[in-house]
Structure 1
Amino acid sequence: MRVRQKLFDKSLLSIGEGDKRLSVFSLAMPIFFENVGVHLIGLIQTSLSSRFLDGFFVTPTGIATSTLSFLATVSGMVITGMNILLSIYLGKNREEDCKKIIGTAFIGFYLFRLMIFGLGFVFAKELLSLQGMSTEENISRLGYAVTYFRCQCVIMTVFSVTSVLVAALRCYGYTKAGLVSSISSSAVTLILTYVGLYVRNTSENEVVPVLVSVSAVAYFVSFAFVLFLFFKRRMSFKLAFKADWLKKILRLGFPANISMIMYTLSTVITASICVYLSGEMYMARLFVLQLVCFTNQLGYSVGQANSIMVGRGCGMGEFEFVNEMYKQNLKITLASNLLFSSLAAAFAPLLLRIFTDDINVIAIGVVVMWIDVFVEMGRGMNHLGQFGLNATGDTVYTTVVSVLSCWLISVGIGYLLSVALGFGIYGLWAACAADEIFRGVLYNLRWKNGRWKARFIREEKELE
């Protein structure tokens, strides 16, 4: 495939022929709108919660949710490995093997979820206490947090199959499946949350049962939509546990997922630091995160699409095309992250009033939003670099870089700046920016020197 050197080359936007043709934007835009829709619903839910009973449930549900996110990331190594392996084998047109990969991932992912969330259920109180729920300010809300957390552990385990179906559909290029299921379930969540909290005048003791019931309904709606779309596309799998396939999945998924686990754990720790610093800083952090998650969504979606196409392209042997495509997608990601993060920072005083009228929280949030512009620039490089390298099987490198950077910079320097030197949440965010930029630069240097090609060829031989 001939690659032309241009500032922007349309020929780099797609790969493959006929019904197997993949396009960056046809893959990325459904993911983008899916995530924006989900985050928009989350933003509205946070706004509703922050103004219900004077925000009494914001901290317990927020800490419980961040812990659930960490556990989900830990159990996600099967999904990560399946994504990488499936993209490569689709590039080789090995359909029968793809069915075995999906079937093995079904069973493997469910077993991992059962184990991880089972441990979370048992040690719920201890996990939440470590993150600040046992402080004098929050101890009265610990019981609510534990109940909410345990119920969510059960729900997320029961409906774990949805994650496998969505991931498989994306690898085949059907990214609209995630869009439809996520937005529909999120809309259900929004409507039922509003009705449950405000229309029926829910009391304090009824809040957790209402939120849990809403979550269960939303997960069921998502599962039903995805299952329907999976069979509508006439996709199939062989539901059988194959140890060899699981070994291959984990061989790729474990190192790739370690980096995500370390990153998620570092965010849990920084959230805990905010809880101990002050209630205002924790609230500001929560509200800022609800806003800045929108600023990197186009870049994140392009990164996801890029990884699918990298895996497919490498499987086809189109290394030159993959390299040039990556460079162009990096430009798109950096430009979008800079634009959206700058706009969000400029309008931060207005945006933060969605959640609160507290002038102290708003003042803290405005400064953090401007620091976050630098975070998003580094994050853009990360999304392209890490996802792209993982798609080639170069997962060990991304893992080492991520683990060292997260702990030495994000957590280590973050603690030094925020607590030891007294910069508070501003120090945490500055350290986060340094972490993201450091990792992004190293990932892109790795891509530039071309070692990922040799890594892919070696992985390809070992996976046979």
Structure 2
Amino acid sequence: MFSKKQLIKLLAPLIVEQIMAVLVGMVDVVMVAAVGEAAVSGVSLVDSISVLIIQIMGALATGGAVISAQYLGKEQPRDARKAAGQLVSVTLTLSLIVTLIAIIGNRHLLGAIFGKVELSVMDNAQTYFWITALSYPFIGLYNACAALFRSMGNSKVSMMTSLVMNIINIVGNAICVFGLKMGVAGVAYPTLFSRIIAAAMMFVLIQNRHNSIRLNSMKSLVPDMGMIKNILSIGIPGGLESGMFQFGKIFLQSLVSSLGTASIAGYAVASNLVTILYLPGTAIGLGLITIVGQCVGAGRLSEAKHYAKSLIGVNYAILLVLSSSMVLFSGELVGIYQLSGQASRLSRDLITAHSIAMLVWPLAFTIPHTLRASLDARFTMAVSVFSMWAFRIGFAYLFVYIFKLGVMGIWYGMFIDWIFRAVVFSLRFKGFEKRAISV
């Protein structure tokens, strides 16, 4: 169903988009730091909430993309367009509810989640939360439209729109923070404005009559409970999985913070750098939603399995280059952050261990995208949530507090989590043709 040229056309923009998001995130941190420590702390508190909300909306968008892709594979474009309307409708409704809760709750909500923090930090967090909460419906609409373009095999649109959004954000931050001296609001307003522009662009583009999936009438937004149920059958498990993963990261961060300054710094830098290793796999996973979804819809299950195996192989080839480079140049990369000798050594050790463990990562995190595209999202959620809490968090506490392995023990727990997922998902993938479900 997909030529080599079509696969490259789908996957290359996704990889570029992932890289761009990480680089822009790093630039954002530098600009926020210029406002002051209280601003950095306030923004980081709110960002932990925002990431959770965006991940849940992203999971919902994935649900819509799977359903739309399967209808395209069945050569039922009318149903695919109807699914697109339902996805946009559900996403906007959910994001508006979340926005209202954030605006009304604001300071009380922040206090309930984070407890007592310094007054200056809470003031900055309140300002940043109020402004960025207004952007949730727009980032929700952007994610929904981007997922629909991907389900058509067109990822270039979301890449270009993301580029525009990030340029507006960076330029806006520079003007508002360094030029207008607006403080934390100078970081928040460009985020809001860039998301509004990106959502507007995507909403206009998705209505193009040349798209196989498009919003061609307001009737497609009228609720259809059967189709909404199909979307939520993937979106809700995906959202719960993402939410639990984010809560788990917060738990582990609190564990790291008990190990001393060198451990905190070394872990933070290593975590930041190894993010690069995930980017190709994440992009390939998003691409598999489209590829496998269309193949399953067309009833070409063996072909879907073949594409999944081939792209996992591509992921391994890329990882071989990236992981080797990461180990070889770990000293130079860590040196950029100007850490103490102890923190630098720890960071390099963490990077080396992580790069070796990436041998397991594609089986643990790329295969689940294939399973979700075949409507097996509940299974991936159950395995992921269990493995996260039983192995990653459970063994992390065991290694740190009982075996006294320090911050490296946290990553040993993570590696055990990866191995468990890899084994279970690989076994599930073997029976893919028997379990794959079409809408």
TM-score, reference length from structure 1: 0.84
Q: Taking structure 1 as reference, are residues 124 and 291 closer, same or farther at Cα in structure 2, changes over 3 Å only?
A: farther
Contact kept in structure 2, 1:389 and 1:398, CA below 8 Å: yes
Q: Taking structure 1 as reference, are residues 285 and 160 closer, same or farther at Cα in structure 2, changes over 3 Å only?
A: same
| Distance (whole Å) between structure 2 residues aligned to residue 131 and residue 422 of structure 1 | 30
| Distance (whole Å) between structure 2 residues aligned to residue 131 and residue 429 of structure 1 | 26
Question: 2:8 aligned with 1:25, yes or no?
Answer: yes
Q: CA RMSD in A?
A: 2.8
Aligned to 1:208: 184
Question: 2:379 aligned with 1:403, yes or no?
Answer: no
Secondary structure at 1:160's aligned position in 2?
helix
**Residue range with higher mean Cα deviation, 401-410 or 114-123:** 114-123
| Distance (whole Å) between structure 2 residues aligned to residue 224 and residue 325 of structure 1 | 34
Unaligned regions of 5+ residues in structure 2, if any? none
Aligned to 2:29: 46
**Residue range with higher mean Cα deviation, 174-183 or 67-76:** 67-76
Q: Taking structure 1 as reference, are residues 16 and 369 closer, same or farther at Cα in structure 2, changes over 3 Å only?
A: closer
**Residue range with higher mean Cα deviation, 318-327 or 31-40:** 318-327
| Distance (whole Å) between structure 1 residues aligned to residue 113 and residue 325 of structure 2 | 32
Aligned to 1:9: none
Amino acid at match of 1:223: A
Aligned to 1:257: 239
Residues 123-167 of structure 1: per-residue CA shift (max 9 Å, x gap): 5557656776746xx665233223323322221234421111111
Secondary structure at 1:93's aligned position in 2?
coil
Q: Taking structure 1 as reference, are residues 435 and 291 closer, same or farther at Cα in structure 2, changes over 3 Å only?
A: same
Residues 412-462 of structure 1: per-residue CA shift (max 9 Å, x gap): 2222323454444322222122212321221112112x1x32222xx33xx
Residues 316-365 of structure 1: per-residue CA shift (max 9 Å, x gap): 12222222222221111123224313322432333244445555544443
Question: For 1:448-459, what aligned pairs fall within 5 Å after superposition?
Answer: 448=430, 450=431, 452-456=432-436, 459=437
Question: For 1:361-376, what aligned pairs fall within 5 Å after superposition?
Answer: 361-376=343-358
Q: Displacement, 1:99?
A: 1.3
Question: 2:371 aligned with 1:389, yes or no?
Answer: yes
Q: Displacement, 1:183?
A: 1.6
| Distance (whole Å) between structure 2 residues aligned to residue 119 and residue 279 of structure 1 | 36
Question: 2:174 aligned with 1:194, yes or no?
Answer: yes
Contact kept in structure 2, 1:300 and 1:380, CA below 8 Å: no
| Distance (whole Å) between structure 1 residues aligned to residue 406 and residue 110 of structure 2 | 22
Q: Displacement, 1:258?
A: 2.5
Question: 2:200 aligned with 1:218, yes or no?
Answer: no
Give the percent of matched residue pairs that are identical in Structure 1 and Structure 2.
Answer: 19
Contact kept in structure 1, 2:32 and 2:184, CA below 8 Å: no
Choose the corresponding residue for 1:34, options 4, 11, 17: 17
Choose the corresponding residue for 2:306, options 282, 307, 324: 324
Residues 356-406 of structure 1: per-residue CA shift (max 9 Å, x gap): 555554444323222321453333223321100111111222111101101
Amino acid at match of 1:187: I
Contact kept in structure 1, 2:63 and 2:234, CA below 8 Å: yes
Q: Displacement, 1:75?
A: 3.9
| Distance (whole Å) between structure 2 residues aligned to residue 234 and residue 176 of structure 1 | 15
Aligned to 1:12: none
Question: For 1:329-368, what aligned pairs fall within 5 Å after superposition?
Answer: 329-359=311-341, 361-368=343-350
Question: For 1:55-74, what aligned pairs fall within 5 Å after superposition?
Answer: 55-74=37-56
Question: 2:274 aligned with 1:298, yes or no?
Answer: no
| Distance (whole Å) between structure 2 residues aligned to residue 257 and residue 287 of structure 1 | 28
TM-score, reference length from structure 2: 0.88
Amino acid at match of 1:249: I
Contact kept in structure 2, 1:47 and 1:355, CA below 8 Å: no
| Distance (whole Å) between structure 2 residues aligned to residue 305 and residue 66 of structure 1 | 26
Q: Taking structure 1 as reference, are residues 365 and 151 closer, same or farther at Cα in structure 2, changes over 3 Å only?
A: farther
| Distance (whole Å) between structure 1 residues aligned to residue 232 and residue 96 of structure 2 | 17
Q: Displacement, 1:231?
A: 3.5
Contact kept in structure 2, 1:299 and 1:332, CA below 8 Å: no
Question: For 1:79-90, what aligned pairs fall within 5 Å after superposition?
Answer: 79-90=61-72
Contact kept in structure 2, 1:329 and 1:384, CA below 8 Å: no
**Residue range with higher mean Cα deviation, 148-157 or 244-253:** 148-157
Aligned to 1:8: none
| Distance (whole Å) between structure 1 residues aligned to residue 401 and residue 96 of structure 2 | 37
Aligned to 1:379: 361
| Distance (whole Å) between structure 2 residues aligned to residue 116 and residue 382 of structure 1 | 31
Question: 2:146 aligned with 1:166, yes or no?
Answer: yes
| Distance (whole Å) between structure 2 residues aligned to residue 412 and residue 42 of structure 1 | 30
| Distance (whole Å) between structure 2 residues aligned to residue 301 and residue 184 of structure 1 | 19
| Distance (whole Å) between structure 2 residues aligned to residue 265 and residue 196 of structure 1 | 32
Choose the corresponding residue for 1:416, options 395, 398, 403: 398
| Distance (whole Å) between structure 2 residues aligned to residue 313 and residue 267 of structure 1 | 34
Contact kept in structure 1, 2:38 and 2:120, CA below 8 Å: no
Contact kept in structure 2, 1:296 and 1:340, CA below 8 Å: no
| Distance (whole Å) between structure 1 residues aligned to residue 357 and residue 175 of structure 2 | 37
Pairs aligned (count): 433
Secondary structure at 1:147's aligned position in 2?
helix
Residues 169-217 of structure 1: per-residue CA shift (max 9 Å, x gap): 11011100111011221122222323333345x3xxx421101111112
Secondary structure at 2:154's aligned position in 1?
coil
| Distance (whole Å) between structure 2 residues aligned to residue 149 and residue 284 of structure 1 | 29
| Distance (whole Å) between structure 2 residues aligned to residue 22 and residue 240 of structure 1 | 37
